[in-house]
Amino acid sequence: MRDRDREFSEYVDARALVLRRTAYLLCGDWHRAEDLVQTALAKLYVAWPRLVRAGGVDSYTRKVLVNTTVDESRRAYRRRETTVGTIPEPRGDAARSEDRVDVLTALAKLPPGQRAVVVLRYWEDQSVSETARLLGRTEGTVKSQASKGLAALRALLGADHVALGEQR
């Protein structure tokens, strides 16, 4: 049991920041992102012995995080809530900060499914097949959602921003 806890703690220490960033990109709120990561880690802890034996801890964790985010966004109380506050100031020059805020605002306007696909494909750099596996969808659905999500982001961001998804 101590080895299990030690291994789990080491994994959490190594991946917590990445998971929090991914959760933020999925939901657009740092506090909610922390809650989502905690929920995902609780589910991960339960499955930890099986995952360590079978491998694939990172992909399972991402899948749990995405599914938790989508499930949370479907709850009625989430639809009534509006988040208040400001996005934390990112590091870097002012032009890049403005772009980042614009992109994060546009990303928050996407439906949860499209947002999950765009984040996994273009932020987490997952392949179409891996994204489909993580989300439990077909590759065609992932491609369609990615296309629609990128089109929506382009429409929201306008011509002032660099074309999204062109490098793939």
Assign residue 123 the CATH number of its domain.
1.10.10.10
Task: Kindly write down the DSSP assignment for every residue of 90-102, as one continuous string.
Answer: PSS-HHHHHHHHH
Q: What is the pLDDT of residue 154?
A: 87
80 shares its domain with 101:
no
Phi, psi angle pair for 29, to nearest 5°: -145, 125
What letters, b where the CB count within 10 A reaches 16 and e where it falls short, cover 111-132? ebbbbbbbbbbbebebebebbb
Model confidence pLDDT, tens digit, residues 39-96: 999 999 999 988 888 888 888 999 999 998 888 877 655 555 556 677 656 555 555 6
**106-128 average pLDDT score:** 89
Model confidence pLDDT, tens digit, residues 8-42: 999 999 999 999 999 999 888 899 999 999 999 99
User: Which domain-ending residue is among 26, 54, 85?
Assistant: 85
Number of domains, the chain: 2
pLDDT band for 168, please (50, 70, 90 cuts): very low
User: Which domain-ending residue is among 54, 85, 116?
Assistant: 85
Is residue 153 within 8 A of residue 122, CB to CB? The reply is no
92 shares its domain with 81:
no
Predicted TM-score of the model (pTM) = 0.54
C-alpha to C-alpha distance for 80 and 20, rounded to whole angstroms: 24
9 shares its domain with 34:
yes
58 shares its domain with 137:
no
50 shares its domain with 61:
yes
User: Which domain-ending residue is among 85, 112, 131?
Assistant: 85
Q: What is the pLDDT of residue 163?
A: 47
Model confidence pLDDT, tens digit, residues 141-162: 999 999 999 899 888 887 555 4
**HSE-up (13 A, CA, CB side) for residue 145:** 23
35 shares its domain with 97:
no
101 shares its domain with 116:
yes
- Domain extent at residue 71: 1-85
C-alpha to C-alpha distance for 161 and 96, rounded to whole angstroms: 11
